[in-house]
Amino acid sequence: MTTADKIKEILGNELNPTVLNVRDDSKHHTGHHASGDGGHYTITLSTPKLQALNTLEKHKLVYQLLNNLFPDKIHALSIRFLP
């Protein structure tokens, strides 16, 4: 299972999203010495479970859910929340 698949599995199971896209942007950061083995990912997400939260709270929740993937599997994460 790829890291992108693992991200989809975790967020899908926990948040039951209506939209969930995970893009691996690691190829754009080849040679980035600080990234180590972790990859760069962009997540686009929409779920009713997050609608009552502000943006900071949404980010904190997603980071908590993916905590076990940092820093070995994920080095950088960009998250876009849709209504």
Enumerate the H helices of 16-82 as residue ranges.
Answer: 55-65
Reduced to 3 states (helix: H, G, I; strand: E, B; else coil), residue 16 is coil
Greater confidence, 56 or 29?
56
Instruction: Look at the domain 3-81 and name its fold.
Output: GMP Synthetase; Chain A, domain 3 (3.30.300)
Q: Which of 5-9, 37-41, 43-47 has the lowest mean pLDDT?
A: 37-41
Residue 6's identity, in one-letter code, is K
**Terminal-residue alpha carbon distance, the chain:** 29
Work out the average pLDDT over 52-73.
Answer: 96
Domain spans, the chain:
3-81
Work out the average pLDDT over 26-30.
Answer: 68
What pLDDT is recorded for position 36? 54
What pLDDT is recorded for position 53? 98
Q: What's the pTM?
A: 0.88
